[in-house]
Amino acid sequence: MARKAERWNCDVLVVGSGPGGATTSCLLAEAGRDVLVVEEGRHLSLDSAPSYSLDEMNQKYRNGGLTTTFGPTNVTYIEGRCVGGASEINAALYHRPLPETLEEWRRDYRISNFSPESLEAHFEASERELSVSRRPQGVGEASDRLRTGADALGWNSTEIERCWKYEKKDTSTWTDRRQSMSETLIPRMLAAGGRLEAQTKVQRIVFEKGKARYVFATQTGPDGEEIDIRIEFETLFVCCGAVHTPLLLRRSGLKRNVGDSLQLHPMVRIAVRFDESVSDPSVGVPVHQVEEFKPHLTLGCSHTSLAHVALWLAGDIDDKRALLERWDHMAVYYALCTSTARGKVRNLPVFNEPLVRYPLTSEDMKLLGEGLYRLGELAFASGAREIFNPVEGGPTLKRPSDLEPFRSGVPHGKVNVTSIHLFSSCPMGEDQSRCVVDSYGRHHAVSNLYINDASMLPACPGVNPQATIMAIVRRNTENFLRQL
């Protein structure tokens, strides 16, 4: 029996519903445009699974969170695959980029009308829409320990704001809820008349006479039946993220500069044991970060639970069972680095999956070593009893002098490196020798094709990127509407 086939039409097609796609589609729908959003993943509520659980990873992460790059040291990276994208699963930390970072991008990539001042109104709009604020009922012991350690060392640290809504129920009780895209901009887009089709994967863009004319997509129905769909449009916004945006463009024949300059924030973690209980999952992700070494290095504390402690207890450790029985006496700290490497995104023939190469440089490995050294200093200054060495075969660390080997860097292939921030695979700017899109996200060769997601950031922002992405996307979308 032949597969069912359909033909859809819209004025604007938005591929992807993460922070880039949700912002784009919401602004366009509220401006009266006929908008259709297609999303490869499922449309799920925030409450469909507990945060940071195995169920959530299976439901909302691509490949269960186990996708990896290839290089001398592999990097395991996380991508959201659901309506709302990464905003449904990340820590919801909101951090504006450093002004000097924006100025460097403007200068080096020749981005027009691009400055902190020109983006100010867009940052402010996102902050209102996402209820960006600090936690009113205390930050938890693990976060307090990080702040205490930073103070003891004389390092600058701060409580990072979050995309989170807090409401007081009575004199002592608060309710709180993550302000992800499925909670905020997607409902607004639908209320304004936009349409959303989940479990719909765009396979290829078709071009005619220098313009994108339609896409071929496949939708998976509730019973698993697949429907072939042709979607016709006037304008196309691709917002699939730093890996899948270049993947779609290359699969469709657009290859110049596409997927040639991927960057990410590599991250290393340590498990730290204290004499006292420091971790309570109900508090959420610890919100303090050490800013002393930004933008090259950020230190913070991850969500800590029994499963996460078990994951990050590396090496040969005597009696892990006893440690895990008192897992709440442990915290997981991270060092996030600004990488100097440039990776490539390519299509794997037949499998329709990406091949991501990311050769961490010697400078990256040295910076990761510095990150571990600084993390160790921070942990011991916070009152840590011992640190479990993340380097394969390394001994447990019991005193600051044990940290010295990290100062020369970490060896390739001997430490678990992860990333939750990927970008820069289709950079924006007027320098056509390396940029895929212009200063406002329009493709240099295809006049009705736009990119509006993390892939257009020119380089590592050095901070959690969601604020930067959403501000630039708002700027680009408003510019598109002014040109009509």
Same domain (yes/no): 349, 413: yes
Whole-prediction pTM = 0.94
| pLDDT value of residue 283 | 78
Same domain (yes/no): 353, 367: yes
Last residue of a domain, one of 392, 419, 446: 419
Would the pLDDT of 137 be above 90? Answer: no
Q: Report the alpha-carbon distance of residue 22 to residue 15 in Å, rounded.
A: 10
What average pLDDT does range 15-36 have in this prediction?
98
| pLDDT tens, position by position, 187-214 | 999 999 999 999 999 999 999 999 999 9
Q: How many C-beta atoms lie closer than 10 Å to residue 191's C-beta?
A: 11
| pLDDT value of residue 65 | 85
Last residue of a domain, one of 419, 442, 470: 419
What average pLDDT does range 59-73 have in this prediction?
92
Same domain (yes/no): 154, 189: no
Q: Report the alpha-carbon distance of residue 481 to residue 13 in Å, rounded.
A: 15
Highest mean pLDDT among 138-142, 158-162, 237-241: 237-241
Would the pLDDT of 86 be above 80? Answer: yes
| pLDDT tens, position by position, 431-455 | 999 999 999 999 999 999 999 999 9
173 domain residue, yes or no = yes
Token pair for residue 340?
């100097």
Q: Provide the residue type at 59 as one letter.
A: Q
| pLDDT value of residue 182 | 98
Per the structure, the count of domains in the chain is 2
Would the pLDDT of 314 be above 60? Answer: no
| pLDDT value of residue 282 | 75
What average pLDDT does range 37-56 have in this prediction?
92
48 domain residue, yes or no = no
- What DSSP state is assigned to residue 406? G
Q: Report the alpha-carbon distance of residue 429 to residue 4 in Å, rounded.
A: 42
**Residue 124: pLDDT band with limits 50, 70, 90:** very high
Would the pLDDT of 39 be above 90? Answer: yes
Please answer whether residues 260 and 344 qualify as being in contact, where contact means their C-beta atoms are separated by less than 8 angstroms: yes
**Residue 233: pLDDT band with limits 50, 70, 90:** very high
**Residue 476: pLDDT band with limits 50, 70, 90:** very high
What average pLDDT does range 26-55 have in this prediction?
94
Same domain (yes/no): 212, 171: no
Same domain (yes/no): 173, 280: yes
Helix H or strand E encompassing 226: strand 226-232
> Among candidates 232, 233, 217, 416, which has minimal Cα distance to 335?
416
> Among candidates 356, 377, 182, which has minimal Cα distance to 260?
356
Helix H or strand E encompassing 357: strand 353-357
Same domain (yes/no): 245, 113: yes
Same domain (yes/no): 382, 454: no
Please answer whether residues 41 and 81 qualify as being in contact, where contact means their C-beta atoms are separated by less than 8 angstroms: yes
**Of 30-39, 163-172, 244-253, where does mean pLDDT reach its minimum?**
163-172
Which residues of 2-43 form beta strands (DSSP E)? 5-9, 12-15, 35-38
346 domain residue, yes or no = yes
Would the pLDDT of 415 be above 60? Answer: yes
Domain carrying residue 295: 57-81+136-178+266-419
| pLDDT value of residue 42 | 96
Just list the catalytic residues.
421
| pLDDT value of residue 310 | 74
**Residue 457: pLDDT band with limits 50, 70, 90:** very high
Same domain (yes/no): 31, 65: no
Same domain (yes/no): 200, 297: no
196 domain residue, yes or no = yes
Q: Report the alpha-carbon distance of residue 286 to residue 463 in Å, rounded.
A: 16
| pLDDT tens, position by position, 91-113 | 899 999 999 999 999 999 999 99
9 domain residue, yes or no = yes
50 domain residue, yes or no = no
| pLDDT value of residue 169 | 79
Please answer whether residues 74 and 266 qualify as being in contact, where contact means their C-beta atoms are separated by less than 8 angstroms: no
How much of the chain, in percent, has pLDDT values that exceed 70?
A: 98
Q: Report the alpha-carbon distance of residue 13 to residue 34 in Å, rounded.
A: 9
Coil, helix or strand at residue 93: strand
- Residue 254 sits at the vertex; the CA angle it makes with 253 and 256, to the nearest 5 degrees, is 130
Same domain (yes/no): 304, 378: yes
Would the pLDDT of 222 be above 90? Answer: no
Backbone angles phi, psi at 261, to 5 degrees: -140, 35
Would the pLDDT of 341 be above 60? Answer: yes
| pLDDT value of residue 2 | 66
Kindly list the distances between the CA atom of residue 79 and the CA atoms of 84, 137, 234, in Å, as whole numbers in the listed order. 11, 30, 29
Averaged confidence pLDDT in the chain = 93
Would the pLDDT of 11 be above 60? Answer: yes
> Among candidates 351, 343, 271, 255, which has minimal Cα distance to 305?
271
| pLDDT value of residue 321 | 75
Please answer whether residues 194 and 10 qualify as being in contact, where contact means their C-beta atoms are separated by less than 8 angstroms: no
| pLDDT value of residue 362 | 95
Would the pLDDT of 120 be above 60? Answer: yes
Last residue of a domain, one of 373, 388, 419: 419
Q: Roughly what angle, to the nearest 10 degrees, separates helices 99-109 and 116-129?
A: 130
Specify which residues 204 forms β-bridges with: 216
| pLDDT tens, position by position, 381-401 | 999 999 999 998 888 999 999
Same domain (yes/no): 246, 338: no
| pLDDT tens, position by position, 143-173 | 999 999 999 999 999 999 999 999 887 777 7
Same domain (yes/no): 287, 338: yes
**Residue 353: pLDDT band with limits 50, 70, 90:** confident
49 domain residue, yes or no = no
CATH at residue 209: 3.50.50.60
| pLDDT value of residue 315 | 53
One-character DSSP codes across 295-343 = TTEEEEE----HHHHHHH--S--TTHHHHHHTGGGEEEEEEEE-----B
Token pair for residue 331?
């915290």
| pLDDT value of residue 224 | 83
| pLDDT tens, position by position, 71-84 | 999 999 999 999 99
Kindly list the distances between the CA atom of residue 274 and the CA atoms of 117, 220, 323, 337, 402, in Å, as whole numbers in the listed order. 44, 48, 11, 25, 17
Q: Report the alpha-carbon distance of residue 111 to residue 431 in Å, rounded.
A: 8
51 domain residue, yes or no = no
